[in-house]
């Protein structure tokens, strides 16, 4: 989780780890191409930018493991 470990904000990092552990590459690619999920942002207490950063980091780490 090289990219996730570089995240500084605790909640962003926690959400990224959640995405990494519970999502597939395909699901994260689709999420990254779409709009930020407002329900997830509210649940995790993160902004749209933090959501995008977390999804991008989780996707990069999953792709690196392929």
Residue 66 has pLDDT above 80, yes or no: no
pLDDT at res. 1: 87
Q: Which tens digits make up the pLDDT trace of 17-56?
A: 999 999 999 999 999 999 999 999 999 999 999 999 999 9
pLDDT at res. 18: 98
Among 35, 7, 65, 50, residue whose Cα is nearest residue 23 = 65
Residue 16 has pLDDT above 70, yes or no: yes
Residue 6 has pLDDT above 70, yes or no: yes
DSSP letter string, 6-53: T--SHHHHHHHHHHHHH--HHHHHHHHHS---HHHHHHHT--HHHHHH
Q: How far apart are CA 13 and CA 41, in angstroms?
A: 13
Distances in Å between the alpha carbon of 33 and those of 5, 10, 52?
A: 23, 24, 10
Q: What is the pTM of this model?
A: 0.94
């Amino acid at each position: 989780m090289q990219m996730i470990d570089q995240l500084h904000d605790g909640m962003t990092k926690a959400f990224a780890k959640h995405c990494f552990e519970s999502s597939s590459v395909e699901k994260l690619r689709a999420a990254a191409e779409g709009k930020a999920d407002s329900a997830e942002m509210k649940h995790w207490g993160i902004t749209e930018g933090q959501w995008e950063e977390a999804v991008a980091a989780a996707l990069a780490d999953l792709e690196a493991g392929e």
